[in-house]
């Protein structure tokens, strides 16, 4: 096996599952985690570096565990990328976080180092509001004995 083929195979195995925007959005709704979106194109060298090297290394090191990560291809998902992009330069990383001031986006433009992406995630998580715990239904509380059952008069 040639060195190039081996490196491509290794990058693919490290990448794991890359979620679509809709899958990551659904997972973020369920988990309450912020979303990190890489917007790029296959023809873009910086985008390919981010998608095949930087982000897989971060994922395998557990540095993406606190976010829902998705990739959006500008050529295949034109309308979505137009809504997410700030300006026309790619690659762009967008961190979408729910804060006390509402939803906020943070951007990094151009190919970035793991340290820069980690810093952006840390800053976003520091502002992130965790999801409010859902109060269990009264019936569940009563059935578990954690709340006295009130008798009808």
pLDDT tens for each residue of 50-70: 999 999 999 999 999 999 999
| pLDDT over threshold 80, residue 144 | no
> In whole angstroms, what is the distance from residue 153 CA to residue 1 CA?
81
Q: Which residue's entry shows tokens 């762009």?
A: 92
How many residues can be counted in the chain? 153
> In whole angstroms, what is the distance from residue 137 CA to residue 133 CA?
12
pLDDT in tens, 67-86: 999 999 999 999 999 999 99
Tell me which H or E stretch contains 96: strand 92-99
The DSSP annotation for 3-15 comes to HHHHHHHHHHHHH
Least Cα distance to 34 among 126, 123, 97 occurs for 97
């Amino acid at each position: 096996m040639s060195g190039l083929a081996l490196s491509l195979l290794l990058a693919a195995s490290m990448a794991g599952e890359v979620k679509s925007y809709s899958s990551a959005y659904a997972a973020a709704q369920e988990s309450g985690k912020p979303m990190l979106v890489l917007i790029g194109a296959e023809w873009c060298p910086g985008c390919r570096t981010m998608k095949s090297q930087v982000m897989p290394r971060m994922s395998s090191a557990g540095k993406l565990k606190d976010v829902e990560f998705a990739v959006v291809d500008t050529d295949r998902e034109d309308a979505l990328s137009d809504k997410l992009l700030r300006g026309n330069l790619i690659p762009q990383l967008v961190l979408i976080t729910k804060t006390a001031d509402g939803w906020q986006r943070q951007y990094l433009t151009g190919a970035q180092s793991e340290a820069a992406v980690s810093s952006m995630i840390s800053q976003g998580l520091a502002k992130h509001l965790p999801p409010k715990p859902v109060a269990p239904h009264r019936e569940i509380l009563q059935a578990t004995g954690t709340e006295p059952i009130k008798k009808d008069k």
